[in-house]
Structure 1
Amino acid sequence: MSDASDVSRTAVVTPVRVVIALCLIAPFVAMLWVGSYAKTDPAFIGIPFFYWYQMLWVIVSTALTMTAYKLWQRDQRARKAQGGGASK
């Protein structure tokens, strides 16, 4: 059974949520596109590009995930303040 509270929980696509999605999808796209980094040059302090590129994405992914989380928290606080948002 659905009630009136289900209506307030419908998904809303906003620019902030699009940015959140892009922050979370970018690392996957970068790592799945193997042809872009399947090479040895340029080397960085003797480490082939293939390896240091992937390690760089660990740091970049962390920053993007943290950014997405902070944006999500801000979005949820704003929706709750407007009185129409879900608590999760």
Structure 2
Amino acid sequence: MVTPVRVVIALCLFAPFVAMLWVGSYAKADPAFIGIPFFYWYQMAWVLISTVLTMVAYQLWQRDQRARAAAKGGAAE
């Protein structure tokens, strides 16, 4: 079943793939950050962003599963 929460979960997990596969958006040297070319620090930033997005997706999934279990348990009573 597709719910708004599951759509948000999918977007959180899909965003890093899109960001990394769209190479034209970051295939350049400027702007440099503390001497590191943009190409490299952009990718490293996405490692951290991906971690946060995966944690958000996991928390949303856990909340969704608890809500489904409560709804299923409440309907059985």
Is TM (by shorter chain) over 0.5? yes
Structure 1: 4+ residue segments shifted above 6 A: none
- 1:59 maps onto 2:48 in alignment: yes
Deviation at 1:17, TM superposition (A): 0.2
Q: In structure 1, what residue type is equivalent to 2:32?
A: A
CA distance in 1, matches of 2:37, 2:63: 40
The superposition leaves residues 23-45 of structure 1 with CA deviations (integer Å, 9 ceiling, x where unpaired) of 00000000000000000000000
TM-aligned CA deviation for residue 59 of structure 1 = 0.2
5+ unaligned residues in a row in structure 1: which ranges?
1-11
Identity percentage over the alignment?
Answer: 84
Query: Hey, what does 1:31 align to over in structure 2?
Result: 20
* Whole-Å separation in 2 of the counterparts to 1:31 and 1:16: 24
Which of 1 and 2 has greater Rg?
Answer: 1
Alpha carbon RMSD of aligned pairs, Å?
Answer: 0.8
Structure 1 position 48, deviation (Å): 0.1
Q: What is the distance in 2 between the residues matched to 1:46 and 1:83?
A: 55
Q: TM-score, normalised by structure 1?
A: 0.82
Q: Matches of 1:70 and 1:37 in 2, distance apart?
A: 30
Q: Structure 2 residue aligned with 1:78, among 49, 67, 72?
A: 67
* More helix, by proportion: 2
Query: TM-score, with normalisation over the residues of structure 2?
Result: 0.93
Aligned residues: 73
Which structure ranks higher in relative contact order (CA pairs < 8 Å, sequence separation ≥ 6)? Answer: 2
- In structure 2, the gaps of 5 or more residues are none
